Every structure is written in structure tokens, then in C-alpha cells.
Structure 1
Amino acid sequence: MNADKGMNDPARGADPARAAGPLAGIRVIELGQYISGPYAAKLLADLGADVVKVESPDGDPMRRWEGHGAMSPQFAAYNRGKRAVVLDLKSDEGLAALRDLAAEADVLIENFRPGVADRLGFGPDALHELNPRLVTCSITGFGPSGPYAARPAYDTVISAVGAMYSQVVPADTLRPLGPAFSDLLSGLSASQAILAALHARGERPAGEGEHVEVSMVGSLIDFLTEAAATYLETGQVAGPDSRPRRAQAYACVGSDGKAFVIHMSVPEKFWTGLLDVLERPDLAGDPRFATREARVRNYDELDAELKAITERMPRQHWLDRLVAHDIPHGPLNTVADLFDDPQVASMGLVEEIEGPDGATLCVPAPSTVFHASGRPALRAAPRLGEGNADVLARDAASVSAPPDDGADRDGAAAASVTAPEGTRA
């Protein structure tokens, strides 16, 4: 990324604790709630950006998700490394304070419904007039227009409309399924779009910013490129087992009840090696499995054969043999297994940080997504409004103060903006 003139100017107020990392000196204003906007901003914070999260007096609803008190683990996960300020965006003073922040910022992210930011006076046109260098990013459910654009859009809705569930849930057991696919993918897409816009800004003689639009449903369709392209070209409709068939991927269970996966892909050597692992050379002559095309057609039959064989010995027996024969494979870990996996443990993907109450927290490190030179030390998610005095260079009466006792509060943050419109996850 090309560095903009003045990007690292300490007078711009970047937190010295974040004075490292590829995005050091970049100020991001986040008007996000729940997951998509906060996740996009978190990714930028992990790269060293100074992220200021703007919340209503009630705070992001994720703060007390599922009845948690001071801070839910979900909020902590999506909001680490940020500073938090409280602004009442229903008041003229709060909007004026937001404009002051935007005037000195590099990026502003919001995930309101289309039209909300414009109606309140901080849409992209108004903000670019105020700060021509600003990169603005809107994350919407269905995009800025169309018959669904004004609808409330949460992950379950988008994952259904965007065909994600049809790819991961069998038709006879259809139900909403985690994780939050569209939230996370749109947040990732937004962070990429913002980085591209910052790069483009550095290439322009006057350093002008631009507005980028990311939709949750569009992010899903891009993620489902293979299934979408296959349908558009051939009319074939992919389902949950379509890619496993083509990839020749199988899940097996050992006699100890522990599961593992095998992925043979295209090279014939993996099939012949697997027959050696299983000590079943006779399967090579079975016409149902004699060629890769036959194995694709008869996937269910081969799946049953493999399960019948592998259930006779414990998983580790099979893992050892698969390693010896260089067959692509791996244990099917749960989240509880994940961080005890020897490979994961060797990669340093967990870091300890100090939590808001002084306790030590273990968190997934940014290297789970990327490695960056000069990556800054991690910081815990902020308490509600704890950055007001540090960030806001305005009279205290112009903003909504955080609770006197310092405790987090929760509620429908959309109500501090406009109750009828709300925001999405």
C-alpha cells in the first residue's frame, strides 16, 4: 500500500499503543453493530489501524449477548483492539461530534440499512464534502437498491437467500446453521475493499477517498463461486455433497468414535495409496470404484465401504498409516480439540492479552488470518465509552457520557439512531 502524505503524523491523534503495523497512523471510525461492521474494523485494527468504535448510550447489542454482564465473549472477539466512544446520534451535538471525528479520519465504516446514514447527514456525499480524503464503506444486507434492500437483514436471512444453507444442510434436514457465514464474509470483503480504496487514494494526485459498497448477499455469492459458475454454465444445481463427490472427500470414524477426513482429489496415487492403507487391494478391481469418474458416481457406496473398514481400528491407527502413505487427511476436530492439535499448537495462533478487568484472556491471534510485519500487540475490547475523554476533542456536554460507575450497559442500539430502521447483524 502506498503511504499517504501525513499518514503517520502523530498530531492526528493515533493511539501510541498502536504505533506499529502496516496500518499505523490510519484512523478508522466504526459505526457498526453485531458482527459484519465490527469484524471488518477488527481486521483493520489487527493490522495496526486506530479504530474508534462509536456506540449509542446503550451500546452495541452484542455487548451483553445472551445475558452476559460486563462484556460478552462474542463482543470481545469482534471488538478487540479498538477504542470506544459514546455519541447520541439522535442529537445535534452527537452528530456534530461524529462529523468532527470524520473530518480527521481515513475510513468510516457503517452497517445501517440503506438510506439511514444519508438521512442523518453522514452519508458518503456529505462526508466526502467534509473530508475529501475519507474512504467510506457501507455494509448492507442486500445492497443499496432492489426489492429487498429496505428489509432487516441478519445472517440467517442472508445465508438462506444467498443459497449458503442449500450448500451445507441436507434438504431433508433443512435448518439454520452456524457459523455466521454472511456476517463474517461481508466483513472480510469490506476490509479488502477498504484496503484497496486506501491504496487507490495513495495513487491519486489529490489523495481523494471514495465510497465502497459491500452487500452480505453479494459476499456469499462470491464465496459460492464454484457452485454459482457451475449452475450458470451447465444448469446443474449443487448441494451439500456435490463438492465432496468431485473432490473425493470422505469422513470416517475409528473404533474409538473419533472422526477423521480423507481427501483424494484427482491424483490416482492417493486412491491406490489409500487401498494400501486399508489393506483392501481388491477394491481396485471393483467396477464401481475402478476410475475416478466411477468413484464420483458411486460416492455413497464407497463412503459406506470406507466407514465399514475404518470402524475396526482406532483413529490413530489410521492417521499413522495415512501419514506413512502420504494421503491427504486430518482429524475432524471440534473447537475443544482445535487448540490441542499439535499443528495448531505449533503455529502460535493463540495469544494472551489483558482483559478489561485486568484478567488474562486467551484470544485467537491475527495470524489466524494473515501474517504482517510489525503487527502491533493485541488489546482487549473496550468498555462502553472508555475512550470519550481520549478521543473526543469537544466539550463534555456535547456527547453522551458513559455510565458513571463504568459498567457496560446494553440495549437496542438502533434506537439511538432511528428505531424504525434499525441495523443488521
Structure 2
Amino acid sequence: MSAETPRTGGPLAGIRVLELGQYISGPFAAKQLADLGAEVIKIEPPDGDPMRRWEGRATMSPQFAAYNRGKSSMTLDLKDPDDLERLLALTESADVVLDNFRPGVTERLGIGPEALAARNPRLITCSITGFGPTGPYSARPAYDTVISAVGGMYSQVVPASTVRPMGPAFSDLLSGMSAAQAVLAALHARSITGVGEHVEVSMVGALIDFLTESASAFLETGQVAGPDSRPRRAQAYACTGSDGKAFVVHMSVPEKFWTGLLDVLEHHELADDPRFATREARVRNYDELDAVLKRITATQPRAHWLERLAAHDIPHGPLNTVADLFDDPQIQSMGLVGELDGPDGTVRVPMPSTRFHRSGRARLAYAPLLGGRTDAVSAGSPASDPTSEGARA
């Protein structure tokens, strides 16, 4: 793909998205749309998205690159009347405008959903906020740690005895996914009605949507789920072989998986133990069975158990770290790693997992340099960044 060739392919080819996003939630939503073939123009302040400078980088941190591939960058100072007018003019040819500002910011700038709809009735606007547009928390700064705590996510993954933030940016990523899904639904509705839509997504609401099972269980029964609630019900266990390598087993409901596991372990006497004789008993005595399984599996290396589990058709898998993940033969076979030509050379990146057999896959490009296409986009030319090439899977 040449430097000046627009990105083509994918089911969203021909859709133009303007992203007014910083950090993760908005950029992740727009990245998903870019992965589906949309032309995404990232509107940045003159000094850029703050994530560009993480880890001491001058222009392109790995985190910024992860959330902004496939986009073009246009620098505008939205407090400058001329730059604001350039943005407003650009919205007239856009299909989607996506932001993750605090509530009220776009209205104060004169680019709220009503103002933009007046200029382009077909426009879809999508706003991602931390706590929604109203309520006692709505004006607070919203970062993932805060939202993941308030929204109940940490209580599902962090033991009560371990009070600390944990894991990926749950609320940023889930709200980004919700926003991308909502934009796709709005695009479909527009194809029928011819009229745009304003979509509101909150980070805390996206978490509650994601915690459907535990939230519904509490509202119906008063039962409060914790980190071990789901593994206990699902009969999921983590074990470690004699070589120190970990793996998981998920027995779920079918009794055949329990009896098959006893064949794997060659400990059929456990079937007669009243603590484990039925699924209900195994749920009640989860900790006791967990200790028994760990003691048995510690006698042989992980490869021994994985081979036997596969032979007996028991749901299982190695507990991969990110360092292990891309060496896993299944992951390698799926073509989920590709190469992109970035400003400092070729970089290996994870590829989109969704494949469209008729519309094809968008030609991916590395994250853009700051303002790399400001003049060209303003002039109406394609938004591909001249520093980026296509992906090589």
C-alpha cells in the first residue's frame, strides 16, 4: 500500500469518523471502527493526546500506538475560533463524531449534539463520560481505577484482603466497546430513517452491563458475588504442574467432565467422597477440592496433564502470560499477529480477530504522527497517514 493510498476494505469502508478523544475509552472505540474500515480522523490539541508522551516518549508511546492505529491525526485548538470553525466544517462531511469529554464540554465549545445535528442531520454523535451526564458524580474526573472501583468490577476480581487496583483498564475498554457497538447500531438505524442519532455511553454503566450475572443475582436474590463466586459455580480450577507451569480446568455442569477428570487424574476414589459426590457438593466444598487437585497435579509436569486432559476431552488450557500468549500454537495458527511499518521501523502488533469474508479486512496502518494530515484533511483529501503502510499478517 503506497503512502498516499486511502485505506480501503472492511464493512465500514466509506464511513468517516471524527474522534475527539484522549487516553483510552474514546480512542479505543474509534480504533475498533478503524479496524472495521472506517476512516478515522483523530482531532488532537496542538500538543497532542497526553498518552503520546507516556514512558518518556516524545511523540509515540507504545500505549498511544496500541489505541490509535489506523487513524489520521489533525491538530486543532478548539478554543481558537478559526480552528473551531474548521472542525464544524469537517462535521458536515462526517458520519460520526465521538468524544470522551466531561459532560457539558462540547456544549460550551459550541459542538454539542444539537449544534452538530443542525449542520448535518445525518450525523451520529457519541459521547463517553465517566458517570453519565447527570447525577452527583457526573462532573468528577473519571479514570479507570475510580470507575472500576465504583462500578463493582474490582470487587469481582480483587480479593477483599488485597486492596489494590488490578488488571487492564476495564472501564475504559468496556465503555469503548459499548460505544463502538452503539455507533454501529446508530449507523444501521440511519440507513433506514436517514436521520442521525446522539448516543450516550458511561464508563460505569458499561461495567454494570458487563457484570450482568452478578448484578442480576444481587437484585433478584440479594446474593453478593466476589472473586471466587463465578469459579465456584462454574467449577473452574487453576492447577500447577511439577514444573511450576500453571493450567486451568473448567468442568461447568455436565457430569461427564467430572468423571473424565477422575480418569485423567487416576483418582477414582474421589467419586465416593461425600464432599465431591455431586456437583452441588463440589460447589459447597470448592476450596477442599481445589486443594486436592493442586496436590495431585503437582506430581507431574504441565505437559503431562494437558495431554491427558485433551485425550479425555476435558475443557482446559495453559495459563498463559502475555509473554506466553503469542507462542501458543493455537494463537499462532489464527494469524492474530501482524507487522506494521511505523515511523521507527517495522513493529509487530495484534491483529483484529473478526474476519469478514465478503467485505474483507481493512488495510491497517500504524498510529499517526501528531498532525500528520492536518492540511490534507482540511483540503478534503484522503486521511491516510503518509508515515504508515498496510499490515502484513
* Structure 2 residue 67 is the aligned partner of structure 1 residue 83: no
* Structure 2 residue 144 is the aligned partner of structure 1 residue 155: yes
* Cα distance between partner residues in 1 of 2:57 and 2:287: 44
Q: Where does residue 382 of structure 1 map in the other structure?
A: 368
Q: Where does residue 371 of structure 1 map in the other structure?
A: 355
Q: Where does residue 4 of structure 1 map in the other structure?
A: none
Q: Where does residue 393 of structure 1 map in the other structure?
A: 379
**Structure 1 residue 69: deviation in Å?**
2.9
Whether contact under 8 Å (2:127, 2:201) holds in the other structure is: yes
Which of 205, 211, 228 aligns to 1:218? It is 205
Task: Provide, for residues 289-344 of structure 1, a one-character-per-residue CA deviation record: whole Å limited to 9, x for no partner.
Answer: 00000000000000000000001110000000101111000000000000000100
Q: Where does residue 191 of structure 1 map in the other structure?
A: 180
Whether contact under 8 Å (2:247, 2:319) holds in the other structure is: yes
TM-score (norm 1): 0.87
* Cα distance between partner residues in 2 of 1:37 and 1:88: 18
* Cα distance between partner residues in 2 of 1:356 and 1:226: 44
Which of 322, 325, 330 aligns to 2:309? It is 322
* Cα distance between partner residues in 1 of 2:174 and 2:267: 42
Which of 137, 159, 166 aligns to 2:155? It is 166
Q: Map of 1:117-266 to 2, 5 A cutoff? A: 117-204=106-193, 207-266=194-253
Q: Where does residue 303 of structure 1 map in the other structure?
A: 290
Task: Provide, for residues 142-166 of structure 1, a one-character-per-residue CA deviation record: whole Å limited to 9, x for no partner.
Answer: 0010000000000000000000000
* Structure 2 residue 262 is the aligned partner of structure 1 residue 275: yes
Task: Provide, for residues 361-398 of structure 1, a one-character-per-residue CA deviation record: whole Å limited to 9, x for no partner.
Answer: 1111012xx2223112110000000011210139xxxx
Q: Where does residue 83 of structure 2 map in the other structure?
A: 94
* Cα distance between partner residues in 2 of 1:70 and 1:155: 23
Question: Which AA in structure 2 matches 1:199?
Answer: H
RMSD (Å), alpha carbons? 1.1
* Structure 2 residue 18 is the aligned partner of structure 1 residue 29: yes
SS of residue matched to 1:149: coil
Q: Where does residue 384 of structure 2 map in the other structure?
A: none
**Structure 1 residue 16: deviation in Å?**
4.6
Task: Provide, for residues 77-102 of structure 1, a one-character-per-residue CA deviation record: whole Å limited to 9, x for no partner.
Answer: 10000000000111101110110111
Whether contact under 8 Å (2:174, 2:203) holds in the other structure is: yes
Q: Work out the percentage of aligned pairs sharing the same amino acid.
A: 74
Which deviates further from its counterpart, 195-204 or 68-77? 68-77
Question: Which AA in structure 1 matches 2:347?
Answer: L
SS of residue matched to 1:18: coil
Q: Where does residue 56 of structure 2 map in the other structure?
A: 67
* Cα distance between partner residues in 1 of 2:189 and 2:343: 37
* Structure 2 residue 93 is the aligned partner of structure 1 residue 112: no
Which of 16, 24, 30 aligns to 1:41? It is 30
- Which runs of no fewer than 5 residues in structure 2 stay unpaired? 381-386, 388-393
Whether contact under 8 Å (2:42, 2:71) holds in the other structure is: yes
SS of residue matched to 2:107: helix
* Structure 2 residue 26 is the aligned partner of structure 1 residue 58: no
Aligned residues: 376
Whether contact under 8 Å (1:356, 1:381) holds in the other structure is: no
SS of residue matched to 1:290: coil
**Structure 1 residue 19: deviation in Å?**
2.3
* Cα distance between partner residues in 1 of 2:363 and 2:245: 37
Whether contact under 8 Å (2:59, 2:370) holds in the other structure is: no
Question: Which AA in structure 2 matches 1:191?
Answer: A
SS of residue matched to 1:171: coil
Whether contact under 8 Å (2:22, 2:51) holds in the other structure is: yes
SS of residue matched to 1:351: strand
Relative CO higher for 1 or 2, CA cutoff 8 Å, sep ≥ 6?
A: 1
SS of residue matched to 2:102: coil
Q: Where does residue 361 of structure 1 map in the other structure?
A: 347
* Structure 2 residue 323 is the aligned partner of structure 1 residue 336: yes
Whether contact under 8 Å (1:353, 1:362) holds in the other structure is: yes
Whether contact under 8 Å (2:297, 2:305) holds in the other structure is: yes
Whether contact under 8 Å (1:132, 1:209) holds in the other structure is: yes
Question: Which AA in structure 1 matches 2:295?
Answer: A
SS of residue matched to 1:97: helix
* Cα distance between partner residues in 1 of 2:191 and 2:320: 43
* Cα distance between partner residues in 2 of 1:116 and 1:376: 33
SS of residue matched to 2:261: helix
SS of residue matched to 1:172: coil
SS of residue matched to 2:131: coil
TM-score (norm 2): 0.94
* Cα distance between partner residues in 2 of 1:170 and 1:240: 6
Whether contact under 8 Å (1:114, 1:149) holds in the other structure is: yes
Q: Where does residue 346 of structure 1 map in the other structure?
A: 333
Question: Which AA in structure 1 matches 2:217?
Answer: T
Whether contact under 8 Å (1:111, 1:138) holds in the other structure is: yes
SS of residue matched to 1:113: coil
* Cα distance between partner residues in 1 of 2:368 and 2:9: 19
**Structure 1 residue 353: deviation in Å?**
1.1
- Which runs of no fewer than 5 residues in structure 1 stay unpaired? 1-14, 395-405, 407-425
